[in-house]
Amino acid sequence: MISPSDRSQAVELIEEAVQNGASLAAACRETGISERTYKRWKAQSVTENSHIDRRTTCERPVPANKLSELEERQILNIAHSEKYASMPPSQIVPSLADEGIYIASESTFYRVLHKYNEQHHRGRSQTPTTRPITTHTATAPNQVYVWDITYLNGPIKGAHYYLYMISDIFSRKIIAWEVWKEESAEHASELIRRAYIAEKLALNEHPLVLHSDNGSPMKGATMLETLYALGIMPSNSRPRVSNDNAYAESLFKTVKYRPDYQPKGFATLDEARQWVHQFVEWYNNEHHHSGINFLTPAQRHSVDHGLDVLEKRKVTYELAKAAHPERWSKQTRDWSIEATVFLNPDKVEKEKEVKEEKVS
């Protein structure tokens, strides 16, 4: 509700603006009200000499369909009865209908129970819980990795090879990969050890976060023991939430939509490994990734080199605009890049922590 003093002040400001040459529509838009609201407030000030909002003081008729206190008590008695004590209204109402009884609709049952603070979890099952989103923040390479396993078709239908892949969410670079005939925590442990050595993670100031889904290789004792020994913090997706590891899933889609991918299967394990090797070389060093403003993952992984590339692009565009300004209606293309990357960002928290922080 807008207070009477604020209404009066708004009317005075709009009148002053109109007297000084502004249009009524523009003045109303600046104050955040419609012309119709302004005219109503102005009429009230003339006829009643006030801007009091009468919605808070007027007497309203009782709705004709309002339940009486007796009817509300009847609903509560039914919900309290031994037969229906463990049922939600969505089951109580159909059950009553089977007996030829209609008291009120499901929404009315819910509304009455809410009114008396009795709409809680009913029955012996555990109360459903909402798990927080698994999220981490990366401001440089080698802070947050994601990994997963996917199928590669084998030589015959039903036979598969398993592609293990670890990538960095900051740069999107594929850090380590391998193809095996089976999935196991032992293979995963071997892969993370290789990545640890190759990226010299022992020199990290902060512990690496390794995020994965909830598959058995990800949570196996061998894998967890390896992570703890290396000082790596494990992170897992929420149960039954497939998009909590979106970076890994997106990477696997890129793998399987390459033009030379073998949808009918790789004849041998060596053939599959050779193809993945070529893919990783292309992805890291040639693929201009849209998520990092079309740098290659290798360029972004080397932070200074990536920023130099973007600065060179910016200069190139500015020179092109200076040569033919008539061909540019707005500013040149934005070649800046976000300095912070979120795993499964929560919009509210992201706005709090990063206010469009970018580096050029």
Between CA 185 and CA 238 the distance in angstroms is: 20
The Cα-based distances of 328 to 15, 158, 315, 360 in angstroms read 42, 56, 15, 21
Which DSSP symbol is given to 54? G
pLDDT of 205: 83
Q: Is 179 helix (H, G, I), strand (E, B) or coil?
A: strand
List the one residue out of 151, 142, 243, 152 whose CA is nearest residue 201.
Answer: 142
Q: Taking the C-alpha atoms of 107, 112, 116 and 122 in order, what is their torsion angle to the nearest 10 degrees?
A: -50
List the one residue out of 191, 236, 186 whose CA is nearest residue 214.
Answer: 236
Is the Cα dihedral 90, 92, 94, 97 positive or negative? Answer: negative
List of E strands, the chain:
137-138, 144-153, 160-168, 174-180, 209-212, 233-236, 337-338, 341-342, 358-359
Between CA 165 and CA 149 the distance in angstroms is: 7
Which DSSP symbol is given to 289? B
- Return the axis-axis angle of helices 89-98 and 106-115, rounded to nearest 10°: 130
- Radius of gyration (C-alpha) of the chain in whole angstroms: 32
Between CA 255 and CA 246 the distance in angstroms is: 14
Between CA 98 and CA 62 the distance in angstroms is: 32
The Cα-based distances of 48 to 42, 44, 55, 265, 316 in angstroms read 10, 5, 15, 83, 66
pLDDT of 245: 86
DSSP string, 296-328: -HHHHHSHHHHHHHHHHHHHHHHHHHHH-GGG-
pLDDT of 346: 66
Walk me through the domains of the chain, giving residue ranges and CATH numbers. 4-56 (no CATH), 69-115 (no CATH), 137-288 (3.30.420.10)
Q: Which two tokens stand for residue 296?
A: 């290659």
pLDDT of 50: 52
- What is the residue-level pLDDT of the chain in tens, covering all 360 positions? 567 777 888 888 899 999 988 899 999 998 888 999 888 888 876 555 455 566 666 778 888 888 889 999 999 999 999 898 888 899 899 999 999 999 899 999 999 999 998 877 766 667 766 666 668 899 999 999 999 999 999 998 889 999 999 999 999 999 999 999 998 989 999 999 999 999 999 888 888 999 998 888 888 888 889 999 999 999 988 777 767 788 999 999 999 999 889 888 999 999 999 999 999 999 999 999 999 999 999 999 999 999 999 999 999 999 999 999 998 888 898 999 999 999 877 654 545 554 555 444
pLDDT of 171: 96
Between CA 299 and CA 336 the distance in angstroms is: 14
Which DSSP symbol is given to 154? -
Q: What angle do CA 193, 221, 248 make, to 5 degrees?
A: 55
By 3-state DSSP, what share of the chain in percent is helix, strand and coil, each rounded to 5? 50, 10, 40
List the one residue out of 350, 180, 339 whose CA is nearest residue 266.
Answer: 180
The Cα-based distances of 188 to 159, 168, 192, 343 in angstroms read 20, 16, 6, 21
Yes or no: say if 279 and 258 are a contact pair by the CB < 8 Å rule: yes
Between CA 231 and CA 251 the distance in angstroms is: 26
pLDDT of 360: 46
**Residue type at position 245:** N
HSE-up of residue 289 (Cα within 13 Å, Cβ side): 25
